[in-house]
Structure 1
Amino acid sequence: MSRGLPFQVKMSIEKAIDSALLAVETYNKPATKFKSGGYIVLMTIAWTSLFHAIFFRKGIKPYYRQKNSSKFKKVDGEYWYWELQTCVDEYFKTENCAIRKNIEFFIPLRNKIEHKSFPEIDTDIFAECQSFLLNFDKILEKEFGERYCLRESLSFSLQMFPSPSNMRAAVVNSAKLKNVKDFIDTYRSAISTDILQSGEYAFKAFLIQVANHSSADAMPIQFYPFDKMSDAEKDKVQRIAALVKEKHITYSVANKGTLKPGAVVRRVQEALGNVKLTKNNKLIDKFNFDTHTRCWKKYAVRPDSKSEHPERTKAEYCIYDEPCEQYFYTEKWVELLIEKMSDETEFNSLFN
């Protein structure tokens, strides 16, 4: 495949292509719950190896140097290769293009999700994931020629219908997922509109079913890049796209946005750093159900369970559901608990 290229270039290209193909295979496995997790890790390896191949071909050694020295750093006897961000900085220099922004979106995101499972984000970042692959193929072709491209090996690069899990709903019950979602939103809001709408940053498409073609040789699916269309063609597509919009139906949901006690306990414990305490020679969570009970009593946000008036709560923190005979808590209650329980004096006062 890489015949004629220097050995290091050849090995880096092969590693890059193998990693990219494995990334697509991982994403498209039907049984995989967290598709984007493994995909991002493998595509990060693919991009890093591709950049290494480019630098080796240009006579640049992509190794970190020792401070104030011309010697290269080594780790366990091996040269310390440039990581992806260093490669991006070296390759793009001062160019602030959509491809660069797409790659840089995934570098911190990978670090946030590498050892976690957040299948809820698959749908939210699907467009960026698609461009992550298409851009890889584009740079591969630009630097080494069409014969190395992946597109001949793939039909649809990534499956077209990712999981419909509602990320925003899941965020309510997971502080760690909220941090990831906040990063995604912050990153997108910080880049220019032109880049955000570029297919090189996030690839979005819609399919229109057409009548079966009379020719047996006709391709079942044809792709027309939007930026290659004439103004008249773009206008037609935009008018069609305006018609293909998701229909939103509003349903009535009781106690929407509130939390059960277990969710409150979990959120606060995570926010406190999952600190453990020793009680009766056993390790327990610092914030647990007993702590939560002591808190709602101390701050008088709801009456005792035997009260004749269970509805008398502080509504900004807690509400009573009469049919279920249960108490539900608000985000403000979680925020208050995190603030109060971060103070050791306040925490210890619960047990005085």
Structure 2
Amino acid sequence: MARNPEGALTDDEKRIVKGFLARGDRNQDIQALVNLGRKATINSARVTEVKQDDAIVPASDADLDFFKEKKKCYDPQTGLNLYDDERLIRAREAMLLAVQVFNSPTLRFKAEVFAVQANIAWTYLLHEFYLREGAQIIQEDGRSLLLSQMIAREDCPLSQGIKDNLESLKQIRDAVEHTLFRRADNRFLSIFQACCLNFEKTICMLFGPDVALSNDLSFSLQFAKMDFDQLVQVQDFDVPEHIRTLEKQLDEDLGEERLSDIEYRFRVVYTFENSTKSKSHIKFVHPDDEGADEVRNVLIKREISDKLFPHKAAVVASLVQERSGRQFNTHNHTQAWRKFDVRPRANVGQPENTNKDYCIYHLAHGDYTYSEKWVDFLVSYLAADANYKELRKFKL
């Protein structure tokens, strides 16, 4: 049934309304039923107009019963209807199933199921897109367009990075049919993660934010804490040769620029350091977000510690006294780093647990050095008389 964005009844809807009126249904009940799932709702005057128009032929009982059944099938959250949007519903469910299986702690058939289900999800998604564009998705042999055929079309709405990701996903799915993956799930995690993010971005772009999958998903939790050395080792543990060959095959046709595209392979950099509770959260930044370039520069920039933390304690005390005009010696400096928990005290088990904004520990010669940022902080803090007096009273 055609939808009318102007809020007026279509000819089919007029026949439906006429049929319910003939059955004796109340105007307000008919209005409420028609408005279910409708983008532009109608008011009671539209029902009255149908009631007064003798030229409208009432719909059959079968049509009325089907109309009621169809109205029951609207999802209030997404606005999708099982009869009108079946492919889109199946696309969402296939991707949700792929994610749920991969995140399950009890299942071992992860990479295989994800590759197959995600391929199905993208196929349904693009089928729905092309149907709404008026394209023919059924070929002469009676089979519908393959995913590989749709991403090769000139009118494909996907970016090159997403296409590369889906091509790799297809190769992984094809390999599933002929080889045993064993414990290779983590080898393709970055490709799978990018596939999920791409799907969410694309379904919202093509069909609106109401159908987003993020409303139905949350981060998966784990019972074991991450150990960096173990994470590094697991990447190479017990990986069959045919998996290594497949990985090489996935990348060999792509240049460095396409390989580094976050829509092809999702990558996150984790750093391990102490932080305050207010700063101890993981934050994901999209490459297109404001400030992303600055974050990227920080992640890839390499500086030696002597350049970033050039000052020993005596130098810090001298600089602070000079710039603040306050009396400030090494004893006051000790009061300061203890007050602000900048570094651990002597003879602790983990001397490297410092506030990395201000201080680092040098394992080679067993002492601490401080940053220019720490000097600036102290100068600013001591500018207030109350702060200066409070620090000098701080007990070690």
Which category describes the TM-score, using the shorter chain as reference length? 0.5 to 0.7
Question: What is the alpha-carbon distance in structure 1 between the residues aligned to residue 221 and residue 81 of structure 2?
Answer: 30
Question: What is the alpha-carbon distance in structure 1 between the residues aligned to residue 292 and residue 235 of structure 2?
Answer: 37
Residue of structure 2 equivalent to 1:146: 209
Residue of structure 1 equivalent to 2:86: 11
Residue of structure 1 equivalent to 2:278: 213
Give a deviation string over 1:157-189, Cα, whole Å, max 9, x none.
798978964557543xxxxxx334323202202
Residue of structure 2 equivalent to 1:108: 171
Residue of structure 2 equivalent to 1:53: 128
Question: What is the alpha-carbon distance in structure 1 between the residues aligned to residue 245 and residue 178 of structure 2?
Answer: 18
**What letter corresponds to residue 99 of structure 2 in structure 1?**
V
Query: Structure 1 residue 238 and structure 2 residue 303: aligned?
Result: no
User: For the Cα contact (< 8 Å) 1:41–1:114, is it kept in 2?
Assistant: no
Structure 1 residue 126, shift from structure 2 partner: 0.9
Residue of structure 2 equivalent to 1:326: none
Residue of structure 1 equivalent to 2:199: 136
Give a deviation string over 1:283-329, Cα, whole Å, max 9, x none.
xxxxxxxxxxxxxxxxxxxxxxxxxxxxxxxxxxxxxxxxxxxxxxx
**What letter corresponds to residue 135 of structure 2 in structure 1?**
I
Question: What is the alpha-carbon distance in structure 2 between the residues aligned to residue 138 and residue 93 of structure 1?
Answer: 15
Give the 5 Å matches for 1:149-160.
149-156=212-219
Residue of structure 2 equivalent to 1:256: none
User: For the Cα contact (< 8 Å) 1:92–1:100, is it kept in 2?
Assistant: no
Question: What is the alpha-carbon distance in structure 2 between the residues aligned to residue 13 and residue 44 of structure 1?
Answer: 14
Structure 1 residue 222, shift from structure 2 partner: 3.1
- For the residue of structure 1 that corresponds to 2:218, the secondary structure is coil
- For the residue of structure 2 that corresponds to 1:17, the secondary structure is helix
Residue of structure 1 equivalent to 2:98: 23
Give a deviation string over 1:109-165, Cα, whole Å, max 9, x none.
201113643133212211001011111111101100111111232223798978964
Give the 5 Å matches for 1:189-268.
189-208=252-271, 210-213=275-278, 220-228=281-289, 229-239=291-301
Structure 1 residue 99, shift from structure 2 partner: 0.6
Whose relative contact order is higher, 1 or 2, with alpha carbons under 8 Å and at least 6 apart? 1
Structure 1 residue 192, shift from structure 2 partner: 1.6
Query: Of 237, 245, 249, which residue of structure 2 is paired with 1:182?
Result: 245
With over 3 angstroms needed to count, the CA separation of the structure-2 counterparts of 1:241 and 1:220, relative to structure 1, is: farther
Structure 1 residue 233, shift from structure 2 partner: 3.2
**What letter corresponds to residue 127 of structure 1 in structure 2?**
S
With over 3 angstroms needed to count, the CA separation of the structure-2 counterparts of 1:57 and 1:156, relative to structure 1, is: same
**What letter corresponds to residue 233 of structure 1 in structure 2?**
V
Question: What is the alpha-carbon distance in structure 2 between the residues aligned to residue 190 and residue 233 of structure 1?
Answer: 29
More off after superposition, 53-62 vs 148-157 = 148-157
Larger Rg: 2
**What letter corresponds to residue 146 of structure 1 in structure 2?**
P
Structure 1 residue 212, shift from structure 2 partner: 1.4
- For the residue of structure 2 that corresponds to 1:33, the secondary structure is coil
- For the residue of structure 2 that corresponds to 1:90, the secondary structure is coil
Give a deviation string over 1:216-262, Cα, whole Å, max 9, x none.
xxx9543222342354332123238999xxxxxxxxxxxxxxxxxxx
**What letter corresponds to residue 45 of structure 1 in structure 2?**
I
Question: What is the alpha-carbon distance in structure 2 between the residues aligned to residue 133 and residue 242 of structure 1?
Answer: 37
Structure 1 residue 23, shift from structure 2 partner: 0.6
**What letter corresponds to residue 239 of structure 1 in structure 2?**
K
Residue of structure 2 equivalent to 1:83: 146
Query: Of 20, 28, 33, which residue of structure 1 is paired with 2:108?
Result: 33
Query: Of 188, 194, 209, which residue of structure 2 is paired with 1:125?
Result: 188
Question: What is the alpha-carbon distance in structure 2 between the residues aligned to residue 194 and residue 158 of structure 1?
Answer: 33
Question: What is the alpha-carbon distance in structure 1 between the residues aligned to residue 171 and residue 163 of structure 2?
Answer: 14
Identical positions, percent: 22
Matched pairs, number: 220
Residue of structure 2 equivalent to 1:277: none
Question: What is the alpha-carbon distance in structure 2 between the residues aligned to residue 95 and residue 226 of structure 1?
Answer: 17
Residue of structure 2 equivalent to 1:310: none
Structure 1 residue 33, shift from structure 2 partner: 2.2
Question: What is the alpha-carbon distance in structure 1 between the residues aligned to residue 293 and residue 285 of structure 2?
Answer: 14
What are the ranges of 5 or more consecutive residues in structure 2 without an aligned counterpart? 1-74, 306-396
Give the 5 Å matches for 1:259-298.
none
User: For the Cα contact (< 8 Å) 2:82–2:89, is it kept in 1?
Assistant: no
Question: What is the alpha-carbon distance in structure 2 between the residues aligned to residue 132 and residue 235 of structure 1?
Answer: 25
**What letter corresponds to residue 177 of structure 2 in structure 1?**
E
Residue of structure 2 equivalent to 1:283: none
Structure 1 residue 208, shift from structure 2 partner: 4.2
**How does the TM-score come out when normalised to structure 1?**
0.54
